[in-house]
Each structure stands twice: as structure tokens, then as C-alpha cells.
Amino acid sequence: MFAAVLTGVSVSDITICGQGTLDGNAGFDNWWKDPKRKNIAYRPRMIFLKGCDKVTVQGITIQNSPSWCIHPYFSTRLTFADLIILNPKDSPNTDGINPESCKKVEITGVYFSLGDDCIAIKSGKLYMGSKYRTASEEITIRQCYMKDGHGAVTIGSEMAGGVKNVTVRDCRFSFTDRGFRLKTRRGRGKDGVIDGILFDNILMEQVLTPIAINSFYYCDPDGHSDYVSTKKALPVDEGTPVIRHLAFRNITCRDCHVTAAFIYGLPEKKIEKISLQNIRMDFAKHPLPGIPAMMDGLKPVTNGGIFAANIVELEIVQVIISGYKGKGLKLHGVEHLYSDNVSDALITDERKEQV
């Protein structure tokens, strides 16, 4: 792709600060027209950091980016603080901050309003993940306001090197398609381990689906193949990703639309543990229909409760959902359910008697 407006390669001890604006001047008459077409080179970022250490970006505004706004790549000890990141809601792939195979990253006090994922944590597709085996890890996101994006905080779908030890706390999500969004699929590889993810003290308003965990994300040329989309258990092999422990606590979701939570692990490699604690979810009076996750076989819905499939251990403590239709909790392939307030009347499950 074309070089970013600000590009750092193997630099350290750098601070970019002030109250100025980086304006990419992108629009639908130039960079956003035919966005996936290569025109000499692909669209540039606004800030790109490769192999950098101890970099701080603080106080500036970034707007009208041709593609991703800030893309740190194989870098360490990064701070992004007190930023404003603005792109139109319909601008293509204008992600806010996308750390890729980075370690010790802090994102604090950032205002996002854009056209794709506000924060997307990545670690490469299979070829890069298996070669370098470098996870994105030790990432803290706090006191951020995320608006209008596809996902507020997203993991993947390029996560073949793994994503570990991510904490998101004291944040507000508004009008995003999804609050937390995990995207993976068969083919991401055995090093694509997701572990140690914590969301704490989050307010979501007008978020279509607050929690979406999707192991069948239909990206890449083979995205709609049987290998990616089948819900039948396939052999565990070098291409099978792993989801271990994720926790969500002290979360309030107002005016949801589609589904309270949609969690779908692989049948051959189930999610090890999901914990939901002290969560309140209310649906909008006039909800908009939508698909809870980008996977084959789903239809638009509204007012869905919690759907959880292919999980070894599911913990639900002090979770209240109001305004849902049908069953509040739908389980499939969940081995152990621990709950303090889920009655049989709320549960539909192929092995309900065991629950």
C-alpha cells in the first residue's frame, strides 16, 4: 500500500502530540471509491508503526482516513491517549486503532466515530501467525467513547498469532453494530489462541448486539466453503484456532436491537470458558432487525436473548435481560452451566434435563 502520512520503522522513544489535525482528505470521489481495487498501490493508513518501541501519540485529531487510521505492527510499549478519530459512518474500512502483533499497548481517553471497527486487535493471518508466532498481548483500553463503528472492540479476524491478556474497562459504546466482537474461523491455526479477555464497567447504548463471538467468520476466498461454515465437528488440525477464557462483568446495555449475546464456538474445539457477571440488558422499544454475526446460515432477528453454543464452561451470574422474545437463554453443546438465576423456563437445550 501507499506509505502512511506518518510512518515509523524501527524507531523508539517518539512522542507525537499537540492539538493539531491529520486530515487524509479521503472521500467517495477518491480513496473511498472502489476501495478494494488496487490503484498503483492500496489505500494508505494515517499512522503506521513497524518494529517500534516506546511510542506515544497524544492529543491530536485524525479524520477522513483513506483506510485504517492507526496501525501499529510488531511494536511494543505504545500509548494512544486523548485522541479524536473521525470518519463518516459509511466510509469503508476506516478502523480507528488496530494493534497487530503488538505488546504493552495502552489506549486511553480516545473518542472514536468512524466506518468500521473502532479498535481491532490482530496478529496476522495463518502464514504470518505460524511463521512469527507473535501475539498481541498486554493491551489496556480504558475511558474511551466508541460510536458508530461495526464493532467497538474487536478481536480478529486476523489473529493467527493469538491475542492474550486484553482488558477493556470504564468505556462507553454507542450506536455500534456490536459491542465486543470476536471474529475467527477454521484456518487461522493452532497458534491463534484467544485468552485472558476482560470487559469491566462498560455502558452500551443503541448497540445492535452487545456481545458477538463468531468462530465461523466468512472472510477470505474460501469464506463460504463447507470447511469454514459447517457446524459439524471436523478433525482438529494445524488450522484449528483456540478460544480459552473470556469474562464480561458490570455491564449495562440500553436499547439493544438484535441479540443480547451471540456466542458460537467450534464443535471440534469448544470455547473453554465464558463468564457473564452483573449484566443488565434492555431492548429498544422499536428494535432494528439484523444479523448478530457475519456467518452463513443466520437470518435477521430482533429481541434475541443469549445464544451460546459449543462451550465447555458457561457462567451466568446476576444477568438480567428484559424485552427478549422466546427463550432468554438458548444453549447448544454447552457442557457445564453455572448460574444463580437461570430457571428452566428460560432455557432451551438439546440436553435440558442435564442442565
- Choosing from 95, 116, 191, 195, the catalytic residue is 116
| Backbone angles phi and psi of 90, in degrees to 5 | -100, 10
For residue 133, give Cα distances in angstroms to 66, 102, 160, 163, 191. Answer: 29, 12, 8, 11, 7
- Choosing from 71, 117, 148, 150, the catalytic residue is 150
* CA distance linking residue 153 with residue 199, whole number of Å: 10
* CA distance linking residue 343 with residue 351, whole number of Å: 15
Residue 98: closest CA among 80, 137, 72, 126? 72
For residue 316, give Cα distances in angstroms to 162, 249, 340. Answer: 26, 10, 7
Residue owning grid cell 457477571: 277
As a residue count, the chain comes to 355
Encode burial over 135-146: b for 16+ CB neighbours within 10 A, e otherwise: bbbbbbbbebbb
DSSP string, 17-29: ESS-EEE----TT
Sign of torsion over alpha carbons 14, 19, 25, 31:
positive
Q: Pull the grid cell for residue 72.
A: 501499529
Cis, bond preceding 157 (omega within 30 deg of 0) = yes
Spatial CB neighbours of 96, under 8 Å, sequence gap ≥ 6: 68, 69, 70, 85, 110, 112, 114, 117, 118, 119, 146, 149
95 is catalytic: no
Radius of gyration of the chain (CA): 20
Environment class of 285 (CB within 10 Å of its CB; exposed 0-12, middle 13-18, buried 19+):
exposed
150 is catalytic: yes
Question: Residues with catalytic annotation?
Answer: 116, 150
